[in-house]
Structure 1
Amino acid sequence: MNYAVIGAGAVGSFIGGLLQHAGRSVTFIARGSHLEAMKEEGLTVERDEQTFTVDREFSSDMHDISSADTWILGVKGTEMASIIEKVKPYLNKDTRIITLQNGVSNEEQLSGAFGKDKIIPASAYLSASIREPGKVAQHGPHKFHLGALDRDNNQLLENIVDEWKAAGISCVRSEDIMAKKWEKSLWNLTFNPLSAITGAKVSDLLDDPLLRNTCDSVLKEAALISEKKGYPVSEKSAGNVFKSAETVRNHKTSMLQDFEKGKPMEVYPLCGYFVEKSKELGIETPVLTTLYNILEFINKENVEKNREGR
């Protein structure tokens, strides 16, 4: 397969770097200082005791994805609508799109634009960062769950999983990938919105009684939405949300990191979508709705402030 990583940030660069290091053809679509550094010195990937550099192909021109049959979307959910319009001209009958975004709304957008048969949802479990422009670091265990929305893609999915494994990427095929993504969304919904509003790390949310109580309330509301959507939440799954949080106590959530950098937060994919669905389903979600309303205001003010350079 020929790959194009569209939005080559930390996770996309990690995947693409390993695939190219293993001999696959990969085009990296990026921007800013990360792109410029890769053009000049290649992409360096650091993982535990292994470090290597790949030296092609790096671009900001969407036309360069036209030779790829497998696109890996690494953009934020906030960019999904604009990315769909940008890639449309280069889609053909053989193109498949692997989605790495958090949340469960992106698959709906992509399926609506391109059809379910084009979409391969993925759920990522890893810690990766751009250590400096052109250099990506990933340490500790990682795993990707990949699944198909269309049964006709099952063989293709097997081929992707095999290629990724051969490249040293830990991944598994999921028979119900959307259930897996809903499960991960419980974690994001429980911790991301509140951390962005308060500036709290995961440890603060776990240890402060009032914040912990708020997290409990959000999780209960999220579980009601998930169950109504056809993805029941077991007592064990609910417990795992807090259990897994204990393993990343010093972590700043992605939404908080975006806020601190002055970037648009993924308010709709990680919070607003679920509020919208709760209204459609007739479910009362007072805590989640309150957090969403506050986040929308904070996000707008933060983006405007950074746009004006204040």
Structure 2
Amino acid sequence: MKICVFGAGAVGGILAGRLLKSGTNISIIARGAHLAAIQEKGLTVRDRDGDWVVPATATDDTSSIGVQDLLIIGLKAHTVTAALNQMKPLIGPKTTVMHIVNGIPWWFFHGLDGKQPANHLECVDPGGRILTSFGPEKALGCVVHIASNVPEPGIVEHNAGGTFFIGEPDNSESERLSIIVDALGESGLRMRPTNDIRSEVWGKLWANITGNPVSVLLEARFGDMFGEPAVRDLMRNIIKEAASVARAYGSKADVDIETRLDGLASLGKAKTSTLQDFEAGKSLEVDALVGSVSELARLADIETPIIDLVYALTRQKAKVAGLYSPPSS
């Protein structure tokens, strides 16, 4: 199987490094200083099992590696559209595209039962370009629970977790799902096939849609956000609104709100990825994490005033800091 990891950052880099260590032949697409470091020294993985360096086929020239059987996208949602032309040489008639992404994915409507109000979300996939470029039938859903980071170019660090939920958008138990789960399982990370991938999407979103934007608004770590009871009330109401949207699209996922909030508070001095991006001067994935739910709500005629307000405030703070631009096709 020809596998390419496009974007070997915090999550993609850990997966790529572990696959390479297992002897799996994969290619890496990266850029800038990270690419230069990998090409010069190999990919360094700092892991709970120890540190290692693996030589890697790393490039920014996708035409040099050609069509892949599996394209794993490790880019944040708001950066994919700009990379579509670069990805074209990697896509063939039988290529599977698995995007490791937070928030509502670009393939969300594909495979849902019944008539849907749209086939794409503008704030995630402006103009439906991603859907059109790949084709919905190529999509394989993936939700990851892992704590990792890129401390410096050429190095990825695995801190905790490491579970990948992988599933077909139509919830079928396909042959390709089984093959890909087995192949990626060589990494030693936990690969869990699921016949309800959207429940996993929503399950992770409860944390992303609360902690991530609020941490930026307050510029606070997890534990510090909960020092004010009103902030917990705000997060509780965000989850309630998001859960009503999830149910409107057929989700049967239950959410114990207080347990979820206790879990976030227990993370103490840890920072959300969005706050880390804000502090580092990187563009923020506000649309996929918050705006997507707001857009789904509008399409279903559901009112989400708290989510809408948090989205507007976070977006405006990012704009003022020069870390946001509106979705554009």
Q: State the TM-score, normalizing by the size of structure 1.
A: 0.91
Q: Are 2:250 and 1:206 equivalent residues in the alignment?
A: no
Q: Are 2:138 and 1:114 equivalent residues in the alignment?
A: no
Give the match for residue 49 of structure 1: 49
Contact 1:116–1:150 (8 Å) recurs in 2: no
Find 1:282's aligned residue among 301, 305, 321.
301
3-state SS of 1:53 partner: strand
Contact 2:28–2:57 (8 Å) recurs in 1: yes
Give the match for residue 98 of structure 1: 98
Q: Are 2:43 and 1:24 equivalent residues in the alignment?
A: no
Q: Are 2:197 and 1:183 equivalent residues in the alignment?
A: no
3-state SS of 1:282 partner: coil
Matches within 5 A, 1:258-277: 258-277=277-296
Find 1:162's aligned residue among 182, 193, 200.
182
Contact 2:27–2:56 (8 Å) recurs in 1: yes
Give the match for residue 87 of structure 2: 87
User: Per-residue deviation at 1:232?
Assistant: 3.7
Contact 1:102–1:123 (8 Å) recurs in 2: yes
Structure with greater helix percent: 1
Relative contact order, CA 8 A, sep 6+: which one is greater?
2
Residues 219-255 of structure 1, C-alpha deviation per residue, up to 9 Å, x if partnerless?
111111111121144253x344224314422221111
CA distance in 2 between counterparts of 1:214 and 1:10 reads 29
CA distance in 2 between counterparts of 1:225 and 1:234 reads 13
3-state SS of 2:75 partner: coil
Find 2:239's aligned residue among 213, 219, 241.
219
Q: State the TM-score, normalizing by the size of structure 2.
A: 0.86
Give the match for residue 264 of structure 2: 245
CA RMSD of aligned residues (A): 2.0
Unaligned runs of 5+ in 2: 109-124, 325-329
Residues 27-62 of structure 1, C-alpha deviation per residue, up to 9 Å, x if partnerless?
111112211111111001121132221112111122
CA distance in 1 between counterparts of 2:217 and 2:84 reads 30
3-state SS of 1:226 partner: helix
CA distance in 2 between counterparts of 1:199 and 1:275 reads 23
Contact 1:17–1:43 (8 Å) recurs in 2: yes
User: Per-residue deviation at 1:118?
Assistant: 0.6
Tell me: CA distance 1:71–1:39, structure 2 relative to 1, closer, same or farther (3 Å): same
Runs of 4+ in 1 over 4 A off after TM superposition: 150-153
Contact 2:6–2:75 (8 Å) recurs in 1: yes
CA distance in 1 between counterparts of 2:60 and 2:67 reads 15
Single out whichever of 34-43 and 79-88 deviates more from structure 2: 79-88
User: Per-residue deviation at 1:117?
Assistant: 2.0
3-state SS of 1:51 partner: strand
Give the match for residue 308 of structure 1: none
Find 2:319's aligned residue among 290, 296, 300.
300
User: Per-residue deviation at 1:291?
Assistant: 1.2
Single out whichever of 114-123 and 70-79 deviates more from structure 2: 114-123
Residues 117-162 of structure 1, C-alpha deviation per residue, up to 9 Å, x if partnerless?
2111111101111122111111333211111125777111111211
Tell me: CA distance 1:260–1:95, structure 2 relative to 1, closer, same or farther (3 Å): same
CA distance in 2 between counterparts of 1:283 and 1:226 reads 11
User: Per-residue deviation at 1:7?
Assistant: 1.1
Contact 1:117–1:153 (8 Å) recurs in 2: no
